[in-house]
A and B are shown apart, each in its own frame.
Chain A
Amino acid sequence: MASSSAFLDVARVHKRFARVHAVADISLAVAPGEIFALLGPNGAGKSTLLRMLVGITRPDEGRIQWPTMPGGQLPGVQLGYLPEDRGLYQDMPLIAVLTYFGSLRGLAPRDAQQAGERWLDRLELLPRAKDKVGSLSKGNQQKVQFAAAVLHRPRCAILDEPFSGLDPLNQELFLGLVRDLRAEGTTVILSAHQMSLVERLADRVFVMQHGREVLAGTMPEIRERWGTGVRLILTVDGAAAGVGSQTEALAAIAAHPAVVGVSRGEDAAVVIALARGQHVGDLMALCASRLSIVSVRTEQPSLHDVYIDVVGTAAPATPAEAA
């Protein structure tokens, strides 16, 4: 993406803590109104990068700019932040906490209260508006925290692990909330471990490991550049051929030039990873001749597959990074 049209432009940013190089030479650009997902294993440097975007810490080297904003800086009132470390005033009523955070984000107290009530209504917590935060379940507290981060309709919402600790129903709820934010014009930058959710949600993905970029792009781009191509999944009748002959058949299929790998899947399935750009006519003929095929289907590699493939094979950390 060209930096000139970016909403956020991060250029060659480094951050070190004692002996740990937490963020190493990261460059990225986020377009206005998109959902940009940061992925990576624990300790990859995602939260450190997000904290620098928010302004809680500063880069040791490099530049973080918001090109469309005056002076290249995003004012605090235009930013919404859901930190990885969740925390609210446990001894205060929900609506008071939301009003307070809204006020600090630049809303007039009355507007902040009304926005807080709208969010509580949306999260089905309005009847509990005057209850103390500490009386809520962990999931409900997380909802309130999310509302506190975005009730002022920020230009940019930075959400660190928004889905962690949520049950599947609430994960779906949050998925909808994040989409709504984008629909309202908010640019969303989030980090997450839930690949299936990110795949459904993010416009672009940026994967980090040991503080460095390991892959980035839209899902089609990622599949194109880092994926192993389409997978062919054959359900076979195991009884029709002996185990020995099936093993020989799989070896023969694996040797075909259009095949990257062959594995046994669940329920007597054979999974054939196809090389990109290869014709598969004679491969299909080979399969039909050697296996008793019951059904055939194809599958795109998931983000999870790409992630495991890329992160799992990425270079190990240097001693300094691993410290």
Chain B
Amino acid sequence: MTRAQQVRIIAWWEFNRFVKWRQQFIGIAVMLGLSAMIGGVTKLITGARGKQVEVAVVGAATLGFPLPDVDGVTWLPERYGDAEALRAAVAADSVGGGLIIAADGGGEVLVRRKSAWTTRVAPAFTQAHQAAAFGQLPLSAEQRRALEAPFAVRITALGTGGGASAGSSRLYANILLGIGLVVLFNGFASLFVGITGEKQQRITEQMLSMVSPQSWIDGKILGLAAAAVVGTVMMVATALVAFLMLPRIFGGSVPTLPPPPTELGLLAMIALVTLLGTAMWFAFMAAIAATIDDPNSSPRGAMLMIPVLPTTLAFVLVSRAESTVAQVLAIFPLTSMAVLPVRLLSTAVPWWEPALAIALLAASVWAFRRAAGKIFAAGVLLYGKEPTLAETLRWAREA
């Protein structure tokens, strides 16, 4: 039996251990059910908000413009003859509220107790007042159109770096980073359980009589990374279904996403960087997990947060993708998985930058998986204690 066959068998076993299709689909159904429930409750709340409050108005004729629409309010103009009658009616709770328009502009809202709708009155009247004032200016139709027209900006990328500067780039960069984070979190949890749990269940000794530590760790990394990707894909697909379907069910408007970048080369490059980056972090975390004896008490569990740092950094750099810092971090292997896609989607990058980043990332994958195998091989029989940092680094150097 070849080493590759063993790695494939281990990877497939780990994948099946952590991707339990039945539970996955039950999880999706629960998620959709909860989303539907939240949608229904939201609709109920919206409906409740639609319950109108009757507000009597005194002095509406002096406004010079029609009473503007205010969400949740039904105006009752001139129901009461004067302000005093209106005050008395509001105090007696005969009407939901009152609005007294002053002759010199401005107004006073009367309520018996504080109500949410009162905060919406001033903005609505300000807007209506400005529109009325604009309408009274002595302007021609052409002048009005010119004043109302937005300032149009069209973005044209003339560089040869292949950077896509479409308006949607930032959105898709953020989505990619978010998905990357979910993959890492999804995978680390199972990687942690998959390695430390096996050590705790005393399975490792039997496994190592069949396969080399390197084959074992390679199979783990591959299988658990694949499980994390599948879990994330299902999660994203579920979110997408909820995002697109629920508004149809509850009668809302279906949100639309801007079209994603379509350059195949760019997409392939991003996919490759994401793949290599995921493999590198999984190898890194496998090495950490191999040194942990008891996951419940080991302080090394906190090291699982390390890969989150570059991703967080990348979120910050989304709006500063052209900076030198972003360029350096796009090449550095520990950050390139997160930062390079942001730069590729947001700005023009020279050809050598992704090439160098991918080469360094591939070398890091190889180095981390070798180190993980070596650390695991050296530490596997250390039941009941964890190797020191110095021991771990020595084993990693020997890899």
Measuring CB to CB, which residues of chain A are less than 8 angstroms from any residue of chain B? 51, 54-57, 76-77, 79, 81-83, 85-92, 100-101, 103-106, 145, 148-149, 158
Contacts and interface: CB of A to CB of B under 8 A. Distances in A.
Contacts of A86: 202
Nearest to A84: B205
B381 interface: yes
Interface in B1-37: 1, 6, 9-10, 13, 17
A106 B206 CA distance: 15
B149 interface: no
Interface in B195-221: 198, 201-211
A79 B209 contact: yes
A89 B203 contact: yes
A196 to B, nearest CB: 28
B210 A90 contact: no
B202 A76 contact: no
Interface of B: 1, 6, 9-10, 13, 17, 198, 201-211, 381, 383
A77 B209 CA distance: 9
Contacts of B211: 76, 104
Contacts of B203: 87-89
Nearest to A83: B205
Given A57-B381, A103-B9, A89 B17 contact: yes
B9 A104 contact: yes
A104 B7 CA distance: 9
Contacts of A87: 198, 201-206
A85 B209 CA distance: 13
B17 A83 contact: no
A104 B207 CA distance: 9
Contacts of A89: 17, 201, 203
A220 B197 CA distance: 47
Given A77-B1, A92-B17, A104-B10, A149 B206 contact: yes
B202 A85 contact: yes
Contact of A56 (B9, B201, B202, B208): B208
Contacts of A57: 381
A91 B197 CA distance: 11
A103 B198 CA distance: 18
A60 to B, nearest CB: 15
B206 A148 contact: yes
Contacts of B383: 85
A88 B9 CA distance: 17
Query: A51, A79, A85: which has the most chain B beta carbons within 10 Å?
Result: A85
Nearest to A85: B202
A152 to B, nearest CB: 10
A189 to B, nearest CB: 13
B23 to A, nearest CB: 12
Contacts of A55: 209
Contacts of B13: 100
A55 B209 CA distance: 7
The 5 closest A-B pairs by CB, nearest first: A87-B202, A81-B209, A85-B202, A83-B205, A87-B203
Contact of B209 (A76, A92, A103): A76
B205 A56 contact: yes
Contacts of A76: 1, 209-211
A54 B210 CA distance: 9
B210 A101 contact: yes
Given A85-B202, A87-B204, 9 more contacts: A51-B381, A56-B381, A83-B205, A85-B383, A87-B201, A104-B9, A104-B10, A104-B207, A104-B210
Given A83-B202, A85-B383, A86-B202, A56 B209 contact: yes
B131 to A, nearest CB: 66
Contacts of A51: 205, 381
Contacts of A91: 17
A91 B23 CA distance: 14
A82 B203 CA distance: 11
18 contacts: A51-B205, A51-B381, A76-B209, A79-B209, A81-B206, A81-B209, A82-B206, A83-B205, A83-B206, A86-B202, A87-B198, A87-B203, A89-B17, A103-B9, A104-B9, A104-B10, A106-B1, A149-B206
Contacts of A83: 202, 205-206, 209
A302 to B, nearest CB: 32
A149 B206 CA distance: 8
Contacts of B201: 87-90
A100 B9 contact: yes
Nearest to B17: A92
A259 B107 CA distance: 126
Nearest to B204: A87
